[in-house]
Amino acid sequence: MIHPTATVEEGARIAPDVSIGAYSYIASGVSIGAGSTVGNHTLIEGETTIGRNNRIFSHAVIGSIPQDLKYRGEKVRLEIGDDNIIREFTLINPGTEGGGGVTRIGSGNLLMGYVHVAHDVQIGDHCILANAATLAGHVELGDHVVVGGMTPIHQFVHVGDYAMIAGASALSQDVPPYCLAEGNRAVLRGLNLTGLRRKLDRDSIDALKAAYRRLFESGAPLQKTARELAEASNDPAVKQLCRFIMESKRGIPFKRKTNAQ
């Protein structure tokens, strides 16, 4: 299952059924779980743990040192879960000491070609990062997030569950769960209704629609409105949306309306 031109350093922990393609290089600190495949000309190094049934395509670079000038060779990690698809020419870096020391990618994700996942990024489960999406350091993605192609996300930005960022956008602020953002700089454009219909019943979607209008279209103060809704609503999705807003550190990108408008 390992091509004769591939190099696997002593100490690497490779499950017996893992396939490794021609001219790939697997360093000593790497662990790869059962059922996984590694394409040709792929580099996996550092303290990198890869779970089961991952498909890694050719020319990916996984676990190379962070692109952070503060990095001084300290021991850091990259953890990747199960059932991920990592396409050609992706670049995934481990964490840094200042950011917790670990980059984590959950399970069931699709990272298309030329995606970059920088140091200390945290990605949940079942996310899709389209071609050339770029996540700067310390970015957090929840579960079922979609990031369109050619979209950079600024460092420390947090994107909530079931949110979607349109292609060719540039995101510099936090996007709450269930929302859709688009533009350069990206702003909220509404709810991610396609994603919502896959997860929530009609009553919850209607509750989110009403909450969205009150939060972002009424002209009322955002934080005050979020607190009021969180206390008044019985819908878990609405509460999650409001908590995210109240906890946001980079602010929410939306076009503010005044009462006069």
> Helix, strand, coil shares of the chain as percentages rounded to 5?
20, 25, 55
Rounded distance between C-alpha atoms, residue 136 and residue 28, angstroms: 27
Burial class (CB in 10 A: 0-12, 13-18, 19+), 54: buried
Rounded distance between C-alpha atoms, residue 188 and residue 180, angstroms: 6
Judging by DSSP bridges, how do beta strands 146-147 and 186-191 pair with one another?
A: unpaired
Q: If we measure between CA atoms, which residue out of 154, 145, 183, 153 comes closest to residue 166?
A: 183
120 catalytic? Reply is yes
Rounded distance between C-alpha atoms, residue 82 and residue 156, angstroms: 25
Which of 39, 41, 68, 119 is the catalytic position?
119
3 catalytic? Reply is no
Note whether 178 and 163 are within 8 A (CB).
Answer: yes
Rounded distance between C-alpha atoms, residue 45 and residue 184, angstroms: 35
Which of 120, 125, 143, 235 is the catalytic position?
120
Burial class (CB in 10 A: 0-12, 13-18, 19+), 220: middle
List the catalytic residues.
Answer: 119-120, 137
